[in-house]
Copies of this chain bind each other. A is one copy, B any other.
Amino acid sequence: MSLRAIKYENNTLEILDQLLLPAQTKYISVRGVEDGWKVINKMQVRGAPAIAIVGCLSLAVELKNEKFESKKQMRQEIEGKLNYLVSSRPTAVNMKIAAEELIDLANQLSKDDSVSLDEMKAKFLQTIEDMLAKDIADNKAIGDYGAKEILARVSGDHLVRVLTHCNTGSLATANYGTALGVIRTLHKMKRLEHIYCTETRPYNQGARLTAYELVHDKIPATLIVDSMVAAVLKHRNVTAVVVGADRVAANGDTANKIGTYQIAVLAKYHEVPFYIAAPFTSVDMSIPSGDHIVIEERPDREMTHVGEHRIAAKGIACWNPAFDVTPASLIAGIITERGVFRPEQLKEQFGQINK
C-alpha cells in the first residue's frame, strides 16, 4: 500500500510528522483546529494541497463533536476558525482559497431557510471530506493518464525507466501524488523497471521525502545528486522524465522546483520526453507566459548549512531561487486528471471547461 501521510477515518485525523523524516516515522493526532494550526505552522505537514486539506480536516474533526445552538452561531464559528487556520502559514495560498470557499458555503447554508441546523453541519462536513477524496481521485487519474502516455513510448510489454525531481508524492498532496502518482501507477501495473530520483538541493526533498516514499512502497529506485542527471540520461536508457508543477502559464511554460528547467534541457539533448504532472487547477490562464511568473528567492542559509552544520565557506554570497521556469517548447505533455495535453492545447481545453 502506498504511503499515507494523512489518515482520516472514524472522525480521527492523524498526520505523518514530516519534520522527523527521514529519521523517524511518527504520526501525530490532530484533534481540532488548534492542533491543525500547530502542525501547519511548525511545518510538520507541507506541500500546498496537503496544508489546505489538513487545515480543513482539522476543522471537520472539531465541528463533528460540537453542539451548536443556531446556524448563525455555527457560521460565525466556522469563519473564525478558518481565518485562524489561514494565519498558520499566510503564504500557503491553497489554505486561503479553501477557507474562502468554505466561508462562502457556510454563508449560503446559513441564509437558506430550507436547510436545518443538522443538515447544514452534515453538508459542510461532507464538502470537506469530498476535498480529500477529490484530491486523491484526481491524483489517481493523473497516474492513469500518465502511465498510459509513458507506456505508449515502449513497444509490447517492455518495462520503463523514469527520472523524477523533488517530491510530488503522498508527502506533498492529500495522498498518492502527481508525478510520483504516475510512477506509483506504473509500479502497480508491474511496468516500472526503475526510478531515478534527484536529491533536489538545497532543501533535499528528493533525498529526504521521495526516497522515503519509494523505500516505503518498495519501488525499485536509485538516488542521484542533481549533477548526475545527464550521466543517467546518457547511460541508463530512461524512457521519460516526469516532474510536478507549481504553476503552469497559459502558453504551457511551467514553474517548478529549481533544477527542473535544466533537467528539461538535458532531456531534450538526450531525446528523452519530458512531462509535467499536475492537477488542472495548476494551470493559470491569467498568466500569459513564464516571463510573468515571479520567482521567490529563499534564504542563503538553506544552501550554506545542513541543520546547524555549515557546509559552505563563510562570507560567500549565494543565489537561492526556489523555482525556475521550463519553456513550453521543452515539454512533451502536461499530465492532468482530465488527460494529457500538449502545451499549446491548454487554452482550448480551458475554453471547453468554461463553456
9 nearest A-B residue pairs (beta carbon): A227-B259, A230-B262, A22-B313, A212-B313, A211-B313, A211-B316, A207-B312, A201-B225, A226-B227
When distances are taken between beta carbons in the complex, the residues of chain B under 8 Å from A223 are 303-304, 312, 316-319
Interface size class of A (residues with CB under 8 A): 35 or more
Which among A198, A204, A211, A212 has the highest number of chain B CB atoms within 10 Å?
A211
Would you call the interface of chain A mostly helix, strand, loop, or mixed?
Answer: mixed
Cβ of A84 within 8 Å of any chain B Cβ, yes or no, is no
Q: Complex formed: what's the CA distance from A324 to B234 in Å?
A: 11
Interface contact A306-B306, CB-CB below 8 Å? yes
Given the known interface contacts A259-B228, A262-B230, the answer about A316 and B221 at a Cβ–Cβ threshold of 8 Å is: yes
Cβ of A97 within 8 Å of any chain B Cβ, yes or no, is no
- A-B contacts, 9 listed (Cβ < 8 Å): A22-B312, A201-B226, A223-B319, A224-B318, A227-B262, A228-B258, A229-B262, A230-B261, A306-B311
Interface contact A309-B311, CB-CB below 8 Å? no
Interface contact B319-A224, CB-CB below 8 Å? yes
When distances are taken between beta carbons in the complex, the residues of chain B under 8 Å from A207 are 303-304, 311-313, 316
When distances are taken between beta carbons in the complex, the residues of chain B under 8 Å from A294 are none
